[in-house]
Amino acid sequence: MIKKVASVGLPVDEVLEIRKNRILPERHGGSGKRISIVTGIHGDELEGQYVCFELQRRLEGHRECLEGIVDIYPAVNPLGIDSITRGIPAFDLDMNRLFPGNIDGSMTEYVAARIIEDLAGSDCVLDIHASNIYLTEIPQIRINELHQDILVPLAEAANVDFIWVHGASTVLESTLAYSLNNIGTPTLVVEMGVGMRITQEYGNQLVDGIFHLMKKLGIWSGEAAPVRKPIISRNPEDVCYLNAGVSGLFVPVAEHGARLGRDALIGRIVDPLCGKVLDEVRAPEDGMLFTIREYPIVVEGSLMGRLLKKEVCGYE
């Protein structure tokens, strides 16, 4: 059942609509629980598009097992998705810095407020992101330390490889996830894959996790594949950031997700004009390369990867 969440007239012969698909159980009763899948806050992150499709495809096969409500919001920033724009076009605003919005505010604030209003009361919300066009991420859930007690048990059911509990930051108080968690609607932020692309393997992995999560919440009574045990990091020291020391072209050597020894070569920064290697990027510690640079041009400081230290990963 397609429902309108927000609607605003644009200046020239067009209406902006935020829509969701509400999938109800076939029979009356059920648990009355609700899970909401949200994606597309950043218009250049498309991994969640496949998840929305695949989740519905699998649900359709066994609708009799649905015991609660599934709300799917595939495009909360439709203008951004349509124009391959990360933020809200025309305003150059990051939509994920506008929440909780204001029902009496500007167009963007109003839309943000309507989205919050619609999602509030869900038993779980998944806000699916896809890193950005520069970096590829393994499937992971990021959690603000303020809400970890409620969210970590939910995240463990979602079949991701990594749960990253990060410190509180004032700037992040304007995000969808913070705003919802702040009003008691548990919200998990999923990061996986890369901007402007779909990684079906990761999408399928997350959909398995959503079914498992729904089962845990009493929304799904059918089969759910077992989930992997995620690595959980709560200490900022667990993660090494690899930033470019020079500007150039980054040519990776290591595979994404590789378990590397200290000093292993991750990639080279080269100068195509002079044909020279400007710098080598090496692992500062033993660990797993959970983030890797996808977009090859780097400027000094550009993030080229993140390494999760071996002792946290727990591998031999």
Partner 1 sequence: MNKTTLYTLKSLYRDDFRVTGYEFGSGKKSVCIVGSSRGNEVQQLYCCSQLIRKFRQLEAEGRIAAGHKILVLPSINPCSMNIQKRFWPTDNTDINRMFPGYCLGETTQRIADGVFREISEYQFGIQFTSFYMPGDFVPHVRLMDEGFSCPETARQFGLPYVVIRRVRPYDTATLNYNWQVWDTQAFSLYTTSTARIDPNSAGQAVLAVMNFLSRQDIIKYTVPGGLRSRVVNDADLISIRTAKSGIFVPMVKAGDTVEAGQPLANILEPYEGDILETLYAPLPMTAFFVHNEPLTYADTAVIKLIES
| Positions that interact with partner 1 (CB under 8 A) | 8-13, 86-87, 91-93, 97, 105-107, 110, 132, 134, 170-174, 241, 243, 246-249, 271, 273, 297, 299-303
Please state the closest distance from residue 173 (CB atom) to partner 1, in A: 4
The residue (of 134 and 162) whose beta carbon lies closer to partner 1 is: 134
| DSSP β-ladder status, 259-260 and 287-293 | antiparallel
Please state the closest distance from residue 64 (CB atom) to partner 1, in A: 43
The residue (of 26 and 104) whose beta carbon lies closer to partner 1 is: 104
Token pair belonging to 113: 């407020």
Residue ranges with strand state E in the chain: 2-10, 14-23, 34-39, 69-73, 124-129, 135-144, 162-166, 187-193, 231-233, 239-243, 248-252, 259-260, 265-271, 276-282, 287-293, 297-298, 303-309
CA distance 166 to 178: 12
Please state the closest distance from residue 36 (CB atom) to partner 1, in A: 24
CA distance 159 to 154: 10
Token pair belonging to 89: 């076009």
Please state the closest distance from residue 203 (CB atom) to partner 1, in A: 25
List the beta bridge partners of residue 242. 305
Instruction: Please list the alpha-helical segments (H only) found in 62-135.
Output: 78-82, 107-119
The residue (of 121 and 236) whose beta carbon lies closer to partner 1 is: 236
Helix (H, G, I), strand (E, B) or coil at 289: strand
The residue (of 91 and 315) whose beta carbon lies closer to partner 1 is: 91
The residue (of 173 and 286) whose beta carbon lies closer to partner 1 is: 173
Q: How many CB atoms lie within 10 A of CB 19?
A: 16
Please state the closest distance from residue 92 (CB atom) to partner 1, in A: 6
The residue (of 218 and 245) whose beta carbon lies closer to partner 1 is: 245
Please state the closest distance from residue 3 (CB atom) to partner 1, in A: 21
